[in-house]
């Protein structure tokens, strides 16, 4: 029993470390997925001008798809674009990986897309992609800097806890 408990303790500490590293990695993936989505929207604008709810494609990244679907569903039920985007950002668990300023930035982009003319919309998308590049770079740097130390610390803490309690 004692050995089981120690093994579980060790596993729990390592899992906490893994969860943190995964969060860092998913943040980078999510930001890249949003950038791809904005590039896809920009391409769609060059072909036609679909209504807001049709800006999101079925080919979207699985990470952003639930977010897009939630927006479309809210708007089909009569919500404004702003309310739908706010609801999507607040209720999606995946988007919790993003920092607050990143979420607010993305929400602002989608809301402004629904309200501006085509020239402003294209400009907004260009600026958004540039800004997202800097967010992606910062997130990737954070991942590179912290992933290894955090995993190492988790393993050592886990081992130390096991040894101490043995």
Question: How many whole angstroms separate alpha carbon 149 and alpha carbon 130?
Answer: 30
DSSP annotation of 123 reads H
State which residue, 10 or 89, has the beta carbon closest to other proteins. 89
145 lies in the binding site for other proteins (CB under 8 A): no
53 in Cβ contact with 72 (< 8 Å): yes
With respect to other proteins, which residue has the nearer C-beta, 80 or 141? 80
> Under the criterion CB under 8 A, does residue 127 sit at the interface with other proteins?
no
Q: Name the segment binding other proteins (CB under 8 A); options: 57-65, 93-101, 111-119, 155-163.
A: 111-119
Asked if 115 touches other proteins (CB under 8 A), the answer is: yes
Stretch that binds other proteins, among 50-58, 97-105, 146-154, 155-163 (CB under 8 A): 50-58
Query: What crossing angle do the helices spanning 2-47 and 100-115 adopt, rounded to 10°?
Result: 20
* The binder of other proteins chosen from 1, 2, 46, 51 (CB under 8 A): 51
Cβ(145)–Cβ(28) under 8 Å?
no
Our CB check for other proteins shows the closer of 90 and 120 to be 120
Please state the φ and ψ torsions of residue 8, each to the nearest 5 degrees.
-65, -40
- Does residue 98 contact residue 31 with C-beta atoms inside 8 Å? yes
Binding site for other proteins (CB under 8 A): 45, 49-53, 75, 80-81, 113-121
């Amino acid at each position: 029993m004692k050995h089981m408990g120690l093994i579980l303790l060790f596993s729990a500490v390592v899992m906490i470390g893994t969860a943190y590293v995964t969060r860092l990695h998913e943040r980078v993936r999510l930001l890249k997925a949003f950038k791809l989505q904005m590039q896809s929207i920009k391409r769609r604008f060059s072909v036609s001008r679909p209504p807001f709810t049709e800006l999101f494609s079925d080919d979207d990244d699985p990470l952003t798809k639930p977010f897009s679907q939630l927006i479309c569903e809210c708007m089909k039920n009569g919500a404004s674009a702003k309310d739908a985007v706010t609801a999507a950002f607040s209720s999606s668990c995946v988007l919790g990986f993003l920092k607050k300023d990143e979420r607010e930035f993305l929400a602002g982009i989608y809301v402004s897309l629904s309200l501006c003319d085509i020239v402003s919309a294209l400009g907004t998308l260009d600026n958004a992609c540039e800004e997202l590049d800097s967010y992606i770079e910062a997130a990737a740097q954070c991942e590179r800097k912290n992933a290894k130390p955090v995993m190492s610390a988790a393993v050592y803490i886990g081992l130390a806890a096991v040894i101490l309690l043995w």
